[in-house]
């Protein structure tokens, strides 16, 4: 019979690295039923066992969707074995989840992870004492280095049949008497294997468990026991149990952990944190690191790869080769145009930026895996809080650099409904992998491939998020104070090569799949509309095509932004379907199949049609305006209804228009001395934006007045 093994643990405990080590490449990624949270499963190497990677959580209390998913799986689906991955560098914090897992009554094996880091810090953990105290096997592991994994696998496979021998962690005698009383009260009502778990959760007044219990049993039997408990201990029942757990953890740690070094001596991670999380140095260091990331991925290594793919692979081999082959086969010219100019030209223009995207992903995964990105969330909390947002909002923003969809979904980990909704509405302002080709295209065509363009686009996204935090919180439905930000900073460590490679390949493959499916269809449609007139006759000039007529009918909208050409208007509209379509559309319209002496034909045409300031305006609008349809769908799931989603999309488009217009009009005034009616309108919009930013928060004012009245 196949053994089901659940991996549980706190965030940043090395669970993902452990999962990759245990399963190798045999992974399957999906969603938990009814919830858009990643569900990863894999087959344990060398055994008939399935490993289920639960979301990283701090508790089994239902405060977040991740905790609900994990608890429901452990309680309702009941895996055969639970591998609790504990960060050995922060034992007391991690053991709080362990204490709750042990109450479930499923065989548990504890993987004492990051043990190599603990040894370097001069700390020794007696796993024998720890194992006896907890009543389950404790294995020293280092998922990063592969240490202890063979023993962990062996013990885990054999742990399936150890349930009857597992001692139970018990509270003090006084508290245990109340647990026993509640257990008797619900006996026969809840499943026998879950009696103790339900009894403890009822004492904690867990609303999910209370709701599932018969109302009569709760009011007549359980509530009197809780009142008696709170009277005897003179405290809230939930606090009583939490304090009891922590006192047990403190006792266990005191007898099993020994520190040989001076306890006042700072660790290497603490020394680095004094610099990178410094109030004054933290943000400049972050800006410098991000400049380095974009310099490597956009201006140097990534640019070399992109130039080769565009100019050599596609420009000299694939496109001429396919065209010659089709012509020699006497294929219809229209079909040749579709395949070469439409499909290969459009999709190739997008795939040409894959080297830059891969390099960017590698660097971002390294920063994330080594522990630096957690520090940036801590640093940004100081800034976000001043603008009405919690530092927790920066976590979805970081995730959104890969793709806006998981970034929006990550907002659900924020407890505050207000912060969660604002974050879901603004996360896509940050450049994602789909927007990187647009950044690279504009930087290459108008700014000589400067990394400053990419860096400015990144910080423009953050600035727009901060401004939106101030503006949106003044709406009644989004008003309130930012939620507190509590985050555990993991120790720095060398990123795992396997983790970096797999994460990069997963993200890169998602980009390729999108280019080979959705982008392919969109480019084919663009080619058709740009090749035929309304009477379905092939046109000699693209300016006589259906697409040109459509573009000319809407291009006036974007003229105040500096790019009133119909080609750029069409590219912007197709970008609403998927941001990669912007580059794909240019690939079809500007003949990606040709390479001029100055490089890619797209760059040459764009440089002849736009000024640098107009190009940056075009870039800003496409970065800030409504995201792709997939991200809008994710936004709808987080906001709950289409009305709120429609408001979010409208806000993003209007906000993007205002920002792009201000950039172009004032940029043209400062650089070229251009002044006109557009400059006046931009000045009015700027004053309106400033008013929205500096005006008093009506909700906060009303709350203060109400407070004075009540006093």
Measured from the Cβ of residue 386, the count of other Cβ atoms closer than 10 Å reads 12
Answer whether 650's CB lies under 8 Å from 708's CB. Answer: no
Instruction: Name the token pair of 607.
Output: 């440089």
Read out DSSP for 239-296?
A: HHHHHHHHHHHHHHHHHHEEE-S-TTSPPHHHHHHHHHT-TTTHHHHHHHHHHHHHII
What is the C-alpha separation between 10 and 97, in angstroms, rounded? 8
- Please tell me the predicted confidence (pLDDT) of residue 415: 65
pLDDT at 464: 93
Dihedral of alpha carbons 114, 392, 431, 581, sign: positive
- Distance, in Å, from the CA atom of 115 to the CA atom of 711, rounded to the nearest integer, reads 55
Residue 132 vs residues 128, 137, 164, 173, 351: alpha-carbon distances, Å = 6, 8, 15, 20, 56
- pLDDT value of residue 83: 94
Buried b (16+ CB within 10 A) or exposed e, 94-103: bbbbbbbbbb
The rounded distance, in Å, linking the Cα atoms of 237 and 228 is: 10
The predicted structure's pLDDT at residue 705: 45
Q: Are 140 and 86 in contact (CB under 8 A)?
A: no
Q: Is 514 left (phi over 0), alpha (psi -120 to 50) or beta?
A: alpha
pLDDT at 37: 59
Determine which helix (DSSP H) or strand (DSSP E) holds 446, and give its type and residue range.
Answer: helix 436-446
- Alpha carbon distance 397, 402 (integer Å): 9
What the chain holds in terms of domains, given with CATH numbers, is 3-165 (3.40.50.300), 173-259 (1.10.287.1770), 282-482+496-694 (no CATH)
- β-strand partners of 123: 259
- With residues binned 3-state (H G I as helix, E B as strand, rest as coil), the percentages for the chain, rounded to 5, are 70, 10, 25
Question: Looking at residue 64, what is its pLDDT?
Answer: 67
* Residue among 218, 383, 397 nearest 290 (CA): 397
> Distances from the Cα of 360 to the Cαs of 242, 297, 299, 440, 513, in angstroms?
43, 5, 11, 12, 18
- How many whole angstroms separate alpha carbon 56 and alpha carbon 209? 22
pTM of the model: 0.69
Q: Among residues 357, 453, 465, which one has the least CA distance to residue 408?
A: 465
How far apart are the C-alpha atoms of 186 and 210, rounded to whole Å? 11
pLDDT along the chain (711 residues), means of 10: 88 83 66 55 87 85 73 87 90 88 89 87 86 90 88 88 59 88 87 83 85 84 89 86 87 84 65 84 88 87 86 85 90 86 82 86 85 80 76 78 78 74 89 88 87 90 90 76 62 79 83 78 87 86 89 92 90 86 85 50 82 94 88 84 90 95 94 90 94 78 41 33
What's the maximum distance between 2 C-alpha atoms anywhere in the chain? 93
DSSP secondary structure of 622-667: HHHS---HHHHHHHHHHH-SHHHHHHHHHHHHHHHHHHHHHHHHHH
Token pair 């302002």 is found at: 429
Q: Which long-range contacts (CB under 8 A, 24 or more apart) does 21-30 make?
A: 21/143, 21/146, 21/149, 21/498, 22/51, 22/149, 22/153, 23/51
**CA distance linking residue 307 with residue 606, whole number of Å:** 17
């Amino acid at each position: 019979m196949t053994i089901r093994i659940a991996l549980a643990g706190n965030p940043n405990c090395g669970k993902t690295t452990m999962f990759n080590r245990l399963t190798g490449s045999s992974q399957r990624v999906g969603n938990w039923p009814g919830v858009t949270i990643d569900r990863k499963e894999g087959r344990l190497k060398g055994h008939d066992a399935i490993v289920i990677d639960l979301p990283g959580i701090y508790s089994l209390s239902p405060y977040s969707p991740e905790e609900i998913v994990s608890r429901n799986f452990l309680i309702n689906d009941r895996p055969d074995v639970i591998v609790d991955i504990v960060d050995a560098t922060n034992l007391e914090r991690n053991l709080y989840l362990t204490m709750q897992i042990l109450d479930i009554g499923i065989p548990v094996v504890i993987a004492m992870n990051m043990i190599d880091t603990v040894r370097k810090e001069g700390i020794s953990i007696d796993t024998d004492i720890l194992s006896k105290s907890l009543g389950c096997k404790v294995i020293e592991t280092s998922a990063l280095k592969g240490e202890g994994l063979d023993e962990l696998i062996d013990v885990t496979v054999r742990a399936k049949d150890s349930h009857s021998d597992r001692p139970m962690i018990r509270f003090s005698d006084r508290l245990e008497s109340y647990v026993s009383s509640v257990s008797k009260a619900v006996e026969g009502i809840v499943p026998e294997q879950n009696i103790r778990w339900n009894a403890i959760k009822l004492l904690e007044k867990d609303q999910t468990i209370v709701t599932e219990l018969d109302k009569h049993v709760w009011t007549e039997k359980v509530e009197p026991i809780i009142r008696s408990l709170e009277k005897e201990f003179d405290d809230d029942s939930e606090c009583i149990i939490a304090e009891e757990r922590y006192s047990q953890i403190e006792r266990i740690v005191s007898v099993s952990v020994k520190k040989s070094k001076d306890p006042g001596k700072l660790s290497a991670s603490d020394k680095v944190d004094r610099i990178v999380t410094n109030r004054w140095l933290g943000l400049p260091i972050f800006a410098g690191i991000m400049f380095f990331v974009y310099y490597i991925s956009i201006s140097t290594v990534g640019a070399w790869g992109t130039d080769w793919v565009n100019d050599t692979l596609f420009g000299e081999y694939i496109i001429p080769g396919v065209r010659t082959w089709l012509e020699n086969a006497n294929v219809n010219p229209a079909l040749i145009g579709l395949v070469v100019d439409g499909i290969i030209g459009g999709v190739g223009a997008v795939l040409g930026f894959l080297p830059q995207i891969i390099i960017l992903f590698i660097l971002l995964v390294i920063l994330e895996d080594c522990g630096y990105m957690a520090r940036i969330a801590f640093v940004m909390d100081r800034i976000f809080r001043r603008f009405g947002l919690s530092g927790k909002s920066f976590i979805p923003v970081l995730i959104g650099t890969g793709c806006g969809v998981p970034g929006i979904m990550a907002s659900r980990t924020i407890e505050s409904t207000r912060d969660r909704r604002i974050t879901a509405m603004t996360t896509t302002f940050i450049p994602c992998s789909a927007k990187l080709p647009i950044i690279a295209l504009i930087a290459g065509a108008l700014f000589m491939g400067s990394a400053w363009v990419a860096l400015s686009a990144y910080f423009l996204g953050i600035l727009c998020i901060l401004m939106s935090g101030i503006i949106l919180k003044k709406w009644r439905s989004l008003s309130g104070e930012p939620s507190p930000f509590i985050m555990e900073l993991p120790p720095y460590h060398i990123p795992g090569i396997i983790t970096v490679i797999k994460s990069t390949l997963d993200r890169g493959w998602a980009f390729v799949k999108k280019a080979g499916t959705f982008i392919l269809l969109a480019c084919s449609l663009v080619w058709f509309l740009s090749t035929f007139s309304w009477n379905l006759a092939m046109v000699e000039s693209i300016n006589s095509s259906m697409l040109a007529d459509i573009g000319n009918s809407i291009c006036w909208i974007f003229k105040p932004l500096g790019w009133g050409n119909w080609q750029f208007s069409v590219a912007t509209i197709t970008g609403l379907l998927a941001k990669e379509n912007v580059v794909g559309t240019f690939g079809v319209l500007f003949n990606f199949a040709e390479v001029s002496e100055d490089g890619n034909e797209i760059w040459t045409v764009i440089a002849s049609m736009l000024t640098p300031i107009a190009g940056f305006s075009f870039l800003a609008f496409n970065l800030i305006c409504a995201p792709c349809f997939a991200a809008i769908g994710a936004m709808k799931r987080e906001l709950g209804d289409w009305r709120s989603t429609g408001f979010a999309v409208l806000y993003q488009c209007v906000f993007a228009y205002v920002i792009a217009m201000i950039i172009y009009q004032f940029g043209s005034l400062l650089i070229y001395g251009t002044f006109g009616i557009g400059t006046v309108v931009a000045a009015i919009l700027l004053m309106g934006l400033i008013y929205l930013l500096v005006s008093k928060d009506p909700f906060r004012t009303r709350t203060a007045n109400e407070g004075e009245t009540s006093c």
